[in-house]
Amino acid sequence: MRKEASLDQWKELYDVTLNLKELEPWKYLDSADLIAIKLQGIEKPVFMSVMGRLGSCYGVSMYEGMDGLADFDMVAKADGKDGPSIYDTMMDQSCITWYAGDRDEVPEAQKKVIKELELKFRGKGQPPCEREYPEIELEDQELRQKLKEQRQTNQELAIELAYLQTEVRDQEYDRPLCPRVLIVMDWKRDMILNMDLLRPEDYEIDVILNFFIPYVLSNGRMKKIRARNPWVFAALIDICEYCGIELKKTGL
């Protein structure tokens, strides 16, 4: 279960980000000017990319290890003659990003933290934003126990929440949709077991659990689940730990 950051930890984070804004590294660094950092006690280096040279979006992205460097390279080559589209690469990359967004982009929980810390941000591109994924704990104890009591199988699944590489027009919406789909695959048999197309109003957590719970009750507890999307981990990390199912992060 995720442990929420304390107010002191939030203050430390905001102190660092405010200092970063004062330094304004985007004035002399381009997003392609990677900075490699070797952290003490951590084997993998991290690579930092500073955004904002063009004056439109100020922030810093961190790519972890050589896999992260490969993701950065993939994005940098997007829309090139031989590379994938920028759309696909932006959806596929794995990184941690801090950026100064507009007030209407800041989650309510983070606005509360800003208020408690007595911080003030004025104008566009001011409040630092950190994307959060709430880890869910099933509150129905009877259901939790029932899932745990199902027989364990040797099955391994891969669960991915991905964007379709096309737009969809629906009369219910005033603009074209860029839909996502939940894909579940039997890893060993290399076979798709389930596909659910999400609507804009669908909550990712609900869609994932609406597959997971009936599947376990009907087929037993799988041995392992492979995933890379943070929404999959947010939905399943607690119940997988409780039920003895390995939840493994992988590039798929």
The predicted structure's pLDDT at residue 184: 96
Query: CB of 241 within 8 A of CB of 220?
Result: no
Which ranges in the chain are annotated with CATH 3.30.420?
A: 141-249
CA gap 59, 243 in Å, rounded: 39
Query: Which of 241 and 75 is assigned the larger pLDDT?
Result: 241
| CA separation, residue 74 to residues 71, 81, 93, 96 (Å) | 5, 13, 8, 16
Residue 25: count of CB within 10 angstroms of its CB? 17
The predicted structure's pLDDT at residue 123: 54
SS3 per residue for 188-228: CCCEEEEEEECCCCCCHHHHHHHHHHHHHHHHCECCEEEEC
The predicted structure's pLDDT at residue 242: 95
197-222 pLDDT, tens digit each:
888 888 889 999 999 999 999 999 99
105-153 pLDDT, tens digit each:
677 778 888 888 887 766 555 555 555 567 788 889 999 999 999 999 9
Is 180 exposed, middle or buried, given 0-12, 13-18 or 19+ CB atoms closer than 10 A? buried
38-84 pLDDT, tens digit each:
988 888 999 998 888 777 678 888 898 888 888 888 777 766 454 45
**At residue 8, does pLDDT exceed 70?**
yes
pLDDT band at 97 (very low <50, low <70, confident <90, very high): confident
* CATH number of this structure's domain 141-249: 3.30.420
179-202 pLDDT, tens digit each:
788 999 999 999 999 999 888 888
